[in-house]
Structure 1
Amino acid sequence: MSTRIETDGRGLFYVMGPSGSGKDSLLRALRERLGPDDRVVVAHRYITREADANEASVALTPDEFQRRQALGCLALNWHSHGLHYGIGVEIEQWLAAGLTVIVNGSREYLPQAVARYPKLCAIHVRVKPEVLAARLRQRGRESEEAIARRLVRAGQAFDVPDGCLLVEIDNSGALRASADALARVVGVGGD
C-alpha cells in the first residue's frame, strides 16, 4: 500500500527548490512513471535560455517572452538570476478538465502563485549543501562566485503564505527514493 499525502483535492502541485536540487530530474522521473491512464501532466516551462535535455522547457528570446507575457499567454511568470521563467495558461484548461498539473516553480514567487491558485500544494525539494555544491559545479553553467551566491540563497528561508500546504522532499540521496516520494505526494502509482 502506498502513502499519499492528503492534499485536500488540490490539483496543482508547485515544485520548487534551489537550482541544482534536482527538480528537473525528479520531474523527468515522474513523467517516466506515467501510464496512459494517469491523469497527471507535468507542464513545460518557458525560459529565456537554452533548455537542457533534462528539463521540460521551451527556450524563448527575451523579446518573445515579453510578447507572450503581454498577450496573456502566461499563467505564472517570474524573473530570477537574470532569466525570465513562465508557465503557460494551458495549465488552466488542464486543471478545468480535472487533471493533476505539476509545475516547476520558484520559491521567491510562491506568494504570487498562491494568490492566483490558492489551493496549490507547494513541494519544496531540498538537498544537503555539500551535495548542492557538487551538483552546481558538475553542471558547469556558473562561476565559483555564482555558485557561492546560490549556496547562500539555498539556505535562506522563504515566504510560505498562510494556508499553503508545503511538503518537503529531500533529494540528497538516490533519485529513485526522492521520485518515489514525489509520486506518493501527487498520487501517481500505488494502490
Structure 2
Amino acid sequence: MGPSGSGKDSLLRALRERIQPADPIVVAHRYITRAADANEASVALTSDEFQRRIGLGCLALHWQSHGLHYGIGVEIDQWLARGLKVIVNGSREYLPVAAKRYPELCAVQVRVKPDVLAARLRQRGRESEEGIARRLQRAAQGFDVPEGVRVVEIDNSGVLEESAQRLVDLVQTDRV
C-alpha cells in the first residue's frame, strides 16, 4: 500500500519477475473501475459490473478512492488455504477492514519523497495539477494501523532495483 505514484505496481511487477515457478507466492490482480494500465496487474470493470460482483460475493476486499472502485477477488481465499503467500495492491484507508478479514496480514507501506512523487504523478499524466496537489496532500497524511498489524516500510524514492530487492527479500522470508 502507498500513495498513487509511489511505484507499487512497478514493485509488484519486479516481484513477479523474480519469483520462481515453485515459489509459493502469488501476486493478486485488482479489479478497478478504470482502464487498466499496462504496468499494473488489474482487470478493468464498469461500475455496474463492479457492484454486481460485490453483490454476488465475488470480492474478498473492495474499497473506493478518488472516485474509483478497487477490489480483490475471493480467489485469494483459496490461495491462502493452499498455503500460498498472497500479495495484493491495497489501500491504507482500507487496512482496518482488511486486517479484520485477514488478521495475520503484513502490510507493506511504500513510501516516496514528495518531490519524487510529484514528478511521477506528472509523468504518468492521469491527473490535473489540482488532482496532483490533492494526491500529494493525501500522501502526506498518516493512516490508522490496527493493533497487532505488522507494517514494514519500503522507501521507493531511489533506484527501483534496490526497492524491488527489499520487497523480494521480505516476501521470500517466512515472516510475511
Q: What TM-score, normalized by structure 1, do the two folds share?
A: 0.90
Once the two structures are superposed, what CA deviation does each residue of 1:121-152 show, in whole Å capped at 9, x if it has no partner? 00000000000000000000000000001000
Match of 1:119 in 2: 104
Match of 1:181 in 2: 166
Match of 2:113 in 1: 128
The one-letter code sitting in structure 2 at the alignment partner of 1:106 is: S
Once the two structures are superposed, what CA deviation does each residue of 1:143-165 show, in whole Å capped at 9, x if it has no partner? 00000010000010100000000
State the shift of 1:38 in Å: 0.8
Identity %: 77
What CA distance in whole angstroms lies between the structure 1 residues aligned with 2:89 and 2:27?
A: 8
Q: Which has the higher helix share?
A: 2
State the shift of 1:172 in Å: 0.2
Structure 1 residue 104 corresponds to structure 2 residue 82 = no
Q: Secondary structure of 1:169's partner?
A: strand
What CA distance in whole angstroms lies between the structure 2 residues aligned with 1:52 and 1:77?
A: 19
CA RMSD of aligned residues (A): 0.6
- Any stretches of 5+ residues in structure 2 without a counterpart? none
What CA distance in whole angstroms lies between the structure 2 residues aligned with 1:122 and 1:57?
A: 20
- Match for residue 16 of structure 2 among 18, 28, 31: 31
Paired residues, number: 173
Q: Secondary structure of 1:38's partner?
A: coil
Match of 1:77 in 2: 62
The one-letter code sitting in structure 2 at the alignment partner of 1:55 is: E
What CA distance in whole angstroms lies between the structure 2 residues aligned with 1:126 and 1:109?
A: 17
Q: Secondary structure of 1:176's partner?
A: helix
Matches within 5 A, 1:10-29: 16-29=1-14
- Any stretches of 5+ residues in structure 1 without a counterpart? 1-15
Once the two structures are superposed, what CA deviation does each residue of 1:4-48 show, in whole Å capped at 9, x if it has no partner? xxxxxxxxxxxx000000000000000001111111000000000
Q: What TM-score, normalized by structure 2, do the two folds share?
A: 0.97
What CA distance in whole angstroms lies between the structure 2 residues aligned with 1:18 and 1:122?
A: 14
What CA distance in whole angstroms lies between the structure 2 residues aligned with 1:183 and 1:36?
A: 14
- Match for residue 38 of structure 2 among 53, 75, 91: 53
What CA distance in whole angstroms lies between the structure 2 residues aligned with 1:161 and 1:36?
A: 34
Q: Secondary structure of 2:52's partner?
A: helix
What CA distance in whole angstroms lies between the structure 1 residues aligned with 2:20 and 2:134?
A: 40
The one-letter code sitting in structure 2 at the alignment partner of 1:78 is: W
The one-letter code sitting in structure 2 at the alignment partner of 1:50 is: A
What CA distance in whole angstroms lies between the structure 1 residues aligned with 2:125 and 2:52?
A: 30
What CA distance in whole angstroms lies between the structure 2 residues aligned with 1:187 and 1:180?
A: 10
Q: Secondary structure of 1:104's partner?
A: coil
